[in-house]
Structure 1
Amino acid sequence: MAKRRLVVIGGDATGMSAASQARRLKDPDELEIIAFERGHFTSYSACGIPYWVGGTVDGPDALIARTPQEHRKRSIDLRMRTEVTELDLDRQQVRTRDLESPSATERWTGFDDLVIATGARPLRPPLPGIDAPGVHGVQSLDDGQALLDALSAAESSAQEGDARRAVVIGAGSVGVEMAEALVRRGYQVTVVDQAEQPMTTLDPDMGRLVYEAMCGLGIHTVRGVAVTEIRTGSDGRVCAVATEDAEYPADIVVLGLGVRPETTLAQQAGLPLGASGGLLTDLSMRVRGQQHIWAGGDCVEVLDLVSGRTRHIALGTHANKHGQVIGSGVGGGYATFPGVVGTAVSKVCDLEIARTGVLEEQAREVGYQFVTATIESTSRAGYYPGAYPMWVKMIAERRTGRLLGVQIVGREGAGKRVDIAAVALTAGMTVEQMTALDLGYSPPFSPVWDPVLVAARKAAAEVSRDAAGQR
């Protein structure tokens, strides 16, 4: 049997997980693996970048799961600083460019199987001054290192007693995490967001809790306004962020506006894309309509098991699972990725923020009729030291009572409680069934009735009340 060749585009979570899993199943004399990565790092935790910037964790080495050398020892031909510039699907070739070559040498490489793991790109709106020195996106370890270098330079040149000012544009997960990182470095932080409340991954009523907490943490949060310009000083560096009505001084600007799937190559090759621009795949992570082209990670859309629609969700948890599924398929095994329920958790300073399932607006979009219930409880027994307030919002389908979504905002012990709801969503449980869940109890960990169960009881009562009103 002739040796096959697997080509992987992208050296992070999906790409190298796929390559590693395929290598476990196929020896080098059966399968040649070539991977291309345009950056300086492989197999790293992008989710850890805000905590590296804030000084909570060391980096970049601590954020790297496997180095290029470790991958090569496993008989994976990993070529760093090499960018794929074109896909020729008819000839089954990719064109690459050596980014370290003065002449930007290009060449074609053939493949039998292709993995597209090109990730996502940060949103960078075409604002005046957006490319000025001092404006940073944060998506890769290279981005994180560039931001750290800029922060160090600004801090070393500042006069003693001078205020250090940072503006974060966008109040999604990355935005609030970067706000925390900058607070930890001693900056006066302003977050400017176009939405009426931070964290649009939450319903507005829960987002308001986040806003109030951020203000309490000393983060100046400006809501419902659009940035019109990033202003620069006489030296060409950023000096302020402007809206229609105000100006916010800044020594550093961080973009936290979210990401979009990086599917430029796929689009040019005519591969199928979804509503948000991500590649569409089947359950085995094959690109739809293609037998030997696979895709995963932040460049694909995944099935939302609650709404029944495809969504773009950029998370390392999914990316690693995609890689395992792809590697199994390439290596002759069998695996599938059935979909997600939309679970995410983040924090800003000591505030934990979590959600799973659909929001109210998403539920309406897909045609659900629903009831909601919001409760305030505590993370531990109220008499136990360190019991903090916690808010849980639950969305359930009318009449059936099936759980549709949960949002949680609170301090220590709040965020990971969302996993209870994620399991319940995956199992298709009703809120009535959830009230009987046998969860662990001890005063240091929860009240007698865990906050999630309290919310489920209230939601179940709303379902019953609604059903009675319908008769």
Structure 2
Amino acid sequence: MTACETGGTMAERLVVIGGDAAGMSAASQARNRRGPDDLRIVALEKGFHASYSACGIPYLVGGEVGGVEDLVVRRPEVFRDEQAIDLRLRSEVTEIDLDRRAVAVHDHEEGRDYWEPFDQLVVATGALPSRPGLPGADAAGVYGVQTLDDGAALLRAVEADGAERPRAATVVGGGYIGLEMAEALVRRGLSVTLVEAGEQPMGTLDPDMGALIADALRRLGVEVLLGEGVTGFSASGGRVDAVCVGNRSVRADLVVLGLGARPNTALADAAGIPVGETSGIRTDRRMRTPVEGVWAAGDCVETFHLVSHRPVAIALGTHANKQGRVVGINIGGGYASFPGVVGTAVSKICEYEVARTGLNEAEAAAAGFEFVTETVASTTRAHYYPGAREMRTKMIADRRTGRLLGAQIVGQEGAAKRIDTLALAVWHGMTVEEMTGLDLAYAPPFAPVWDPVLIAARKTAERLERLHTGG
């Protein structure tokens, strides 16, 4: 018997592994639909915090956010007292036993181990920062940044005084986290080197767009090493002091790994919960795994790309919250589904706002598309209006149909959120010709009379027409 007796009835037991976006969204939505006499909810989180904004960590480290608690969206007592969710922090699940219908838990606070039974289980274990299997990678002072606990540890390091105060930092990897952390560390007064094995940073963009970001980093004072791989980490007394890049050594009092993240699926995999080719947990559109009564959501799952029609694992809080909501609604007796993603993302790097949606050139080619691209330079406002800033918009369209496959934006203030219009066009399979007639808002403080989205669509449509007519 795995249910407990409450008020004379048998309450079903829901156990949630992971207390951040996906897990707590699932727990909250389930509670909204089923009361504690019908559904007992236990949420297990191995860290010190639950329900927080991991996306704010670079701004915490950089000093724009005042403190760790500012990133906590909802305090534990809100879940416990107002929603009757038994949220247990510092409670790490070490095993899932599907036959026993229970999870093994280690309570870090009390130093004890116990089994927690479930009728239904939500796996929301998130992602792990990729850590290279290189000499010295586990030395003290080498930080991955994925959880708020990770961010708090890095914050303590950069705020250290005296001899412990770091003066030089190396960021390994030029993805979103790596670039945001490089800027944050510069703001803290450190000398920063960024090492990226690719030809340009921000590999989710095409190289011509990524080159704009590299230039901005250099203007900020970051030493940018491109096309070079890290071969190891030097440590003195167990603490990192340099990064080995090719045949040279780059001083580093601390190292931040910005190599991306991978689904944290070790628990699920060991239990026999199927994982897909991306190493994310396999689910259907309702976020059910192939195991009866077991659901999964968030950065640990594999999802479906609506343009490439391929499985992908994308670690973003937006997806995690939506997927958690879907799980909670379904557990609560409703019906909800998660259709997939188009890969929309946005970031701020130095003076640039950076955004993308759909496929980049390499992804479009890998998916078998023949495509054309067009890049246009424009301004965020009417050119004569004070505060107009430069921006560059790139579109990728299917050569045969004209369908928009993807888009990228790199620009200054006021540029990036235009990606939402482009994401909507990608989501609905619009052609660039159809986009030229979009009724977008215009006023000089907000856009030129021809919005950059419309200019890029028109130019791409004209290129396609020339190809089709031989002109």
Please tell me whether residue 305 in structure 1 is matched to residue 306 in structure 2.
yes
Say whether the 8 Å CA contact 1:399–1:466 is kept in structure 2: no
Please tell me whether residue 38 in structure 1 is matched to residue 46 in structure 2.
yes
Alignment correspondent of 1:348? 349
State the one-letter code of the partner of 1:165: A
1:91 positional shift: 2.4
Q: Structure 2 CA distance, aligned partners of 1:258 and 1:278?
A: 14
1:195-217 CA-to-partner distances (Å, cap 9, x unmatched) read: 11100001111111211222122
Q: TM-score, normalised by structure 1?
A: 0.95
The structure 2 residue matched to 1:135, chosen from 138, 142, 145, is 142
Q: Structure 1 CA distance, aligned partners of 2:379 and 2:164?
A: 43
1:245 positional shift: 2.9
SS of 1:424 mapped into structure 2: helix
1:277-326 CA-to-partner distances (Å, cap 9, x unmatched) read: 00111111111x23311100000011111111111110001101111110
Please tell me whether residue 18 in structure 1 is matched to residue 21 in structure 2.
no
1:59-92 CA-to-partner distances (Å, cap 9, x unmatched) read: 2111111121111111111111111111111221
Alignment correspondent of 2:117? 110
1:210-240 CA-to-partner distances (Å, cap 9, x unmatched) read: 112221222111001111121123x443221
The structure 2 residue matched to 1:60, chosen from 51, 68, 86, is 68
Say whether the 8 Å CA contact 2:130–2:262 is kept in structure 1: yes
Q: How much is the aligned-residue C-alpha RMSD, in angstroms? A: 1.5
* Greater mean deviation of Cα atoms: 429-438 or 127-136: 127-136
Q: Structure 1 CA distance, aligned partners of 2:252 and 2:439?
A: 51
Q: Structure 1 CA distance, aligned partners of 2:360 and 2:203?
A: 10
Unaligned segments of structure 2, at least 5 residues? 1-8
Please tell me whether residue 457 in structure 1 is matched to residue 465 in structure 2.
no
Q: Structure 2 CA distance, aligned partners of 1:265 and 1:402?
A: 41
SS of 2:434 mapped into structure 1: helix
1:383 positional shift: 1.8
Q: Structure 2 CA distance, aligned partners of 1:366 and 1:188?
A: 40
Identical aligned residues as a percent:
58
State the one-letter code of the partner of 1:184: R
Q: TM-score, normalised by structure 2?
A: 0.95
The structure 2 residue matched to 1:231, chosen from 234, 257, 262, is 234
Alignment correspondent of 2:77? 69
Say whether the 8 Å CA contact 1:169–1:192 is kept in structure 2: yes
SS of 1:231 mapped into structure 2: strand
The structure 2 residue matched to 1:157, chosen from 163, 187, 191, is 163
Say whether the 8 Å CA contact 2:158–2:188 is kept in structure 1: no
SS of 2:29 mapped into structure 1: helix
Alignment correspondent of 1:394? 395
Please tell me whether residue 90 in structure 1 is matched to residue 88 in structure 2.
no
1:142 positional shift: 0.8
State the one-letter code of the partner of 2:24: M
The structure 1 residue matched to 2:279, chosen from 277, 280, 289, is 277
The structure 1 residue matched to 2:173, chosen from 170, 173, 188, is 170
Describe how 1:374-389 pairs up with structure 2 within 5 A: 374-389=375-390
Alignment correspondent of 1:212? 215
Q: Structure 2 CA distance, aligned partners of 1:388 and 1:131?
A: 43
Alignment correspondent of 2:5? none
Q: Structure 2 CA distance, aligned partners of 1:13 and 1:158?
A: 34
Q: Structure 1 CA distance, aligned partners of 2:398 and 2:196?
A: 32
Q: Structure 2 CA distance, aligned partners of 1:236 and 1:396?
A: 51
Say whether the 8 Å CA contact 1:434–1:453 is kept in structure 2: yes
State the one-letter code of the partner of 1:72: R
1:171-202 CA-to-partner distances (Å, cap 9, x unmatched) read: 00000000111111111211001111100001
